[in-house]
Structure 1
Amino acid sequence: MEKTTTSKGKQMLIYGTLTILGFYFLFLSLVKASGFLIPLTTALILALLMLPLSRKMEKSFLNRTASSLISTFIVLLASLGFLALVSMQVKTVVDDWPKIEETMTPKIENLKAFLFEHTPLSEEDLKESKEGSGLPLMSSNSNAGQKAATFLNKTLGFFGDYLLTFIYIFFLLNYRHRFKAFLLKLFPDSKRHKIKGVIEDSASVTQKYLVGKLILIGLLAILYAIGLGVSGVNNFILISILAAVFSLLPYIGNIIGFGLAMIFGYLISGEMGVLIGIIITFTVAQFVESYVLEPYVVGDQVDLHPFFVILAVIIGGMIWGLAGMVLAIPILAIINVIFNHVTTLKPFGFLLGQETD
């Protein structure tokens, strides 16, 4: 009896160790292969988003190649428009920075005085922290050249991945039936019907989630634009669009959008009325998003527990950065669909899903 208990303990220890090592090397591989996997995964999600439109065009008047090309071009135009909005916003920040600095200087001084008076901090502590966190200046031309070369390499790498994503989208749409047939051939005939259901449900849940999110972004942009415009925020249209787009990042995106509104609203004007208007706008918008838009527009297409949503976003950020945070929810939704269709994995699907009580 003791030998049996000891052998089971050893087996659990071995399996637990192998599981931990497996996850470690999996995450390490995902980080190392990020340059290849991020464009491919992004293209897969976007191809699933455009699949309904491609099918409609194929049924009406176009062949598959033409519909795939048009769908890819639509995604390209949308992404270029978003990049243009971001670049315009960055330029506005740079142009308005002297005004922001002038407005915030007295507020920062008041905050320092409050901290010095009510906390153990002193001016010497503040000076030491500034000196300790300062970055070394570029003292030689070689360092400047190295930094310029690094920036150039990163820029070229970004645009290379950016263009490669659209090439992937075209081929995934154009040859989707071939890829589907390949996946079905990996399994015996007795299981192909179930595998086909997993593939179709995974594509369907991702499509519905992304389409719902796009509608939600448009409605949020309108809500933000009305509130921020009435509050007197500069460039409120651009800020509203960006804040709505950042809602793709659960929880974190709302903080980013609020920060943008604070920069272009309260920090530039310094008026308390603008600050109150921004707070009211985002409070009302978040209430409408959580209790009206999410349930009725996005619905339960991604039936995931909030805890695992947050966990997926954090892990995605650790592995692939910002791209991982955006892609984490659709990927987790697909994994959950697979769990719910495979009998031995259904307990994991129950764990990831929301309670139905």
Structure 2
Amino acid sequence: MAYLVTGAAGFIGFHTSQKLLERGEPVIGVDVVNDYYDPALKEARLALLKKYPAFTFHRADIAEREDMEKVASLHPEITRIIHLAAQAGVRYSLINPYAYTHSNIDGQLVMLELARNLKQCDHFVYASSSSVYGSNEKLPFSIEDRVDHPVSLYAATKKAGELMAHCYSHLYQIPSTGLRFFTVYGPWGRPDMAAFLFVKAILEGKPIKVFNHGDMRRDFTFVDDIVEGILAVASGQPSGMAVPAKVYNIGNHRSEPLPRFISVIEESLGLKANIIYEPMQAGDVKETFADIDPLVKDYGFYPKTSIDEGIPKFVTWYREFYKV
């Protein structure tokens, strides 16, 4: 058995690949290593993965058919796909919308075709997002809720990816599972996410921008918990259904007020934040909160890490990595 992990140089892809390698599983990693954020951080993650003999890396674009067909031809041993490569970020979708259709729609199609044509692939696990819930006001967000009113192009592309996966499961009986991630943070995290932005600004003595005047809540989920859920799902597959396609929420099942999140960062740094309050940003939502009961029931997943535990771990990594 071998796993193909796309987005292997990315935040969640790196942690997922590393955990698989620690378990002794062969991993074929794919990443285009673009400049959406500092490529040096991605290269540093890759450098750690390349220390494992069972890791093979291909610098390729998941939306380019020829690139991915070559990867598949070189690795007929692939039995499971964990597709985490995507163009992320709500606000950037207002600036560069074509990046989202390229990676999240064209890329999803290429990867589904890859799964269809691989002889041994028995599960296609892919990243979706809590953003699909849009302006849904019912809490917690449930996989039974309608998600046909996205408030950002990013959300629309992730919902499209779910529909495409369902279609391929229906047509070709490819077992597929989508995971709607809720605000993932932790060591090696993305520089465009709140934890990274806030820690960096506070250490540099710069103000932090807090939107909707601080009246926001997020289901902040520590990366180790996310990876545990991904691997639990990837080890199984949907069963007992006419169409072997499922979608789950994967979050911390706790909606934290943004001011409390900031206060935990301040405590971990031993510094106070200079806060500039701003109105709500286009495409953003006030609150997220994951109903994870289906994932608990089907896979025994339950998150273990509160922000009081997770934020200090992120701060420790940040200080060590950036030597500050």
Higher helix fraction: Structure 1 or Structure 2?
1
Same fold (TM > 0.5): no
TM-score normalised by the chain length of structure 2 = 0.24
Higher relative contact order (CA 8 A, sep 6+): 1
The structure having more radius of gyration, on CA atoms, is: 1
